[in-house]
Structure formats: structure tokens, C-alpha cells
Amino acid sequence: MQKKTKQLLLKDTIKEWITNGEIKPGEKIYSENELVKMFSVSRHTVRQAVGDLVHEGWLYREQGAGTFCSNRMIDTQDQSPKLSRAANKKNIGVITTYISDYIFPSIIKGIESYLAEKGYSLTFSCTDNNLEKEKQCLQSMLSRNVDGLIIEPTRSSSFNPNINYYLELEQLKIPYLMINQFYPQLNPPHLMVNDDKGGFIATEHLIKLGHKKILGIFKSDDLQGVHRMQGYIQAYRENKLSLSPDLILTFSTGELDYLRRKLEDLLTSKDSRPTGIICYNDQVALFILNILRDLNLKVPEDISIVGYDDSYLAEATETKLTSVSHPKMQMGIEAAKWIVAAVESQNTEGNKHSTVYEPELMIRNSTGPVNNEKIEDL
């Protein structure tokens, strides 16, 4: 028999704590340092094991508070989080592009907290922003007879080949709600941020600080990126500034290496170097901060940076990011309230309400007035 790795042993032990009730739903698990000492393993091993359990739905992270036991029911046979099919217990499916990364734990925590309060069980899955995986997720949800679905679209900027599964949901009168974006072909009820406005206020903030050469970096395979770019372009137009096509840089899922190469070319050339950068999200902003550090460029003295989503990453480094807000927890709670109302009313036709959140700019020290002396040096 193959010997278990330390990471797998740690995972199995934490699962045992959960299934036998030593750690109850909502309770905080041991800290990273405590687990390192208890199991005599490296910090990397602990992070990998806990990260896997978060991804699988056993645990969830709460920014600034720690890691907690998930509220959902556990199937002790297959040792994975599962829906509870008690006789009259309703089950809600949640499909997101990712589960354990970035802003998603906060959204999921909001969903989970409200549904647990109402006695609903949950089934989670993620697509990794892959259309084939989205198909598999939808097939799985349909086979489990979920009572309702909360979905984050996958690669929403192009035609979705899985539309037939959504039409099947409608035929079966299973209510579904989309978050962060929606597929235009379906125009379903949705909760999302006004991303046009978000891109606009981020760009206008730098323009008012005197920046004219502002690089916009946007993801092209989802509509959030498309709309943020539209707002960026509109800010240039309304402020009567000329926008060079070279100042727009787009990328798709999995293209960070490509993005790094393009950025290094732009930033190492004094002729092409921008004085400000608008980023698709805080993850991209942090990625750029690391590149700038490698190139010995200072923020905001040499280049100002604006992120998006106001995630925990915005304050995770010495340079605190100016960032556009995203109602993460609130969106999760309101999505859960919507789906419960739709399930309990059994009226999918009458519940077409959608919400668009108005973003705000959270200003920190990653942005500052343009340095005219630096521009003259260029």
C-alpha cells in the first residue's frame, strides 16, 4: 500500500475532526502556526492541505479572521461535502468560476450564512473559468435535482455553448440567478456591479491627478473586463484626452506569462512607459506591483496603480492599493435571499428582479499626482 504524504495525512485528520464533531460548523480551525507544530510539517504543507480543503468546500476563509469549518452537511461515505437530501430539505447549487481564491470566499460566505440560517443545504462546484467544466457542473447539478442555482458565468464575453442546460433549468422550473455578470442570450435575473462606472471612476481619478498616459489592462474573455474597459475609454473621451491604442492591453484566462512579457516591454522603455495603470482587478494589480519592484520602479512616485474589487489583496502589501469597491458579502447574502424567495414561491416567472451595485473608489497610497519632473526626464 502506498504511504500517505504528510499533506494527505493532515487533510484526512482535519476531515476526521469535522465528521466526528470535534470541529463544528462555523468554528475556527487551528492556526497555521499551530498546525505546523502539531504535525511537525512545513508551512507550505499546511497551506496546501488547508487550501485543498477550502477548494473542496470543507473549510472557508474569512478575511482577517482565519479559517472556519463549513456549514454544509457531510457525506461520511465519500468523504466530501455534499447536499443533504433529508426528506423535505431544500438544496441550492452554487457554481462559481473559482471557490477558494480572491473575492469568492467572501461571496460564498454570504450565500452560506443566509442559507444555513434558513435550513437549506448547499452543493458547491467551480468551473475554473472553463466551458467544458461548466457543462459538467450543470450536468451534475441537474442530476442532483437541486431546487435552485446561483451561478457565476464562465467566459461571459463570448457565446456560451451550454445555453441548452440553462433552458432545461427553465423548462424544469428550477430558478437560477447569475452573479457578477450574466449571459446576454438569456438575460436572466442577476446581481452585478456597474463595471462601466467602475472603470470610469478609476480612470478619472488618475486623470484628475494629472495623468494622461494611463495604461488600461483588462481581461477580454469575461464581460466584467469588457465593461471596465468601456468605462476607461469613456473617461478619456469625457475629459477630452487622446487615447493611444498602445495604452490598452488585454489578456485571457491563463495568459499571465504573456501579460508579463508585454508589461516588461512597456515598462522598460522610457518612451512607452505610462505614468498610471488601471488594472482589471486587485490580483492583476499585485502581479504588476511585483514586476515594478523587479524593475526598481516606485509606486506611486514613478507609476500610480488602481486595482478593482477592493479585496483583501488591496491591503496585503506595504503599498496599499487604491481600488474600486465590490459588495462581496452583501452580494452573497442577497443572492441567497433571492433564490430562497424564488424556491419558496415556486414562481420563476414572477421573480425577475435584478440588482446593479454602484461602485465607489477606495483611495489609498498606490496613487498620487503625476510626477512632472519624471515626465520631463523621459
All cell numbers assigned to 68: 472556519
- Name the nearest CA neighbour of 281 among 209, 199, 363, 194: 199
Calculated CA dihedral for residues 37, 41, 47, 53, nearest 10 degrees: -90
User: How much is the pLDDT for 347?
Assistant: 59
User: How much is the pLDDT for 64?
Assistant: 66
Cβ-Cβ contacts under 8 Å for 374 (sequence gap 6 or more): 275, 301, 302
pLDDT, one tens digit for every residue, the chain (378 residues): 445 688 888 888 888 888 777 887 778 888 888 888 888 888 888 888 888 887 677 887 766 677 888 765 443 334 444 444 444 578 999 999 987 778 988 999 899 999 989 999 888 889 999 999 999 999 989 988 899 999 999 999 999 999 999 999 999 999 999 999 999 999 999 999 999 999 999 999 999 999 999 999 999 999 999 999 999 999 999 999 999 999 999 999 989 888 999 999 899 888 889 999 999 999 999 999 999 999 999 999 999 999 999 999 999 889 999 999 999 999 999 999 999 999 998 655 546 689 999 999 999 999 999 986 555 454
In this structure, how many other beta carbons lie within 10 angstroms of the beta carbon of residue 219?
23
Rounded (5°) CA angle 259-265-266: 90
User: How much is the pLDDT for 300?
Assistant: 97
Q: How far apart are the first and last CA of the chain?
A: 65
**Structural contact between residues 57 and 70, judged by C-beta atoms closer than 8 angstroms:** yes
Q: Which domains does the chain have, with CATH numbers?
A: 1-73 (1.10.10.10), 195-326+361-377 (3.40.50.2300)
**Structural contact between residues 318 and 367, judged by C-beta atoms closer than 8 angstroms:** no
Beta strand 91-96 with 148-151: parallel, antiparallel or unpaired? Answer: parallel
Beta strands, E only, the chain: 59-62, 66-69, 74-75, 80-81, 91-96, 121-126, 148-151, 176-179, 190-193, 214-219, 248-251, 276-278, 304-309, 322-325, 355-357, 361-362
- Name the nearest CA neighbour of 348 among 159, 179, 147: 147
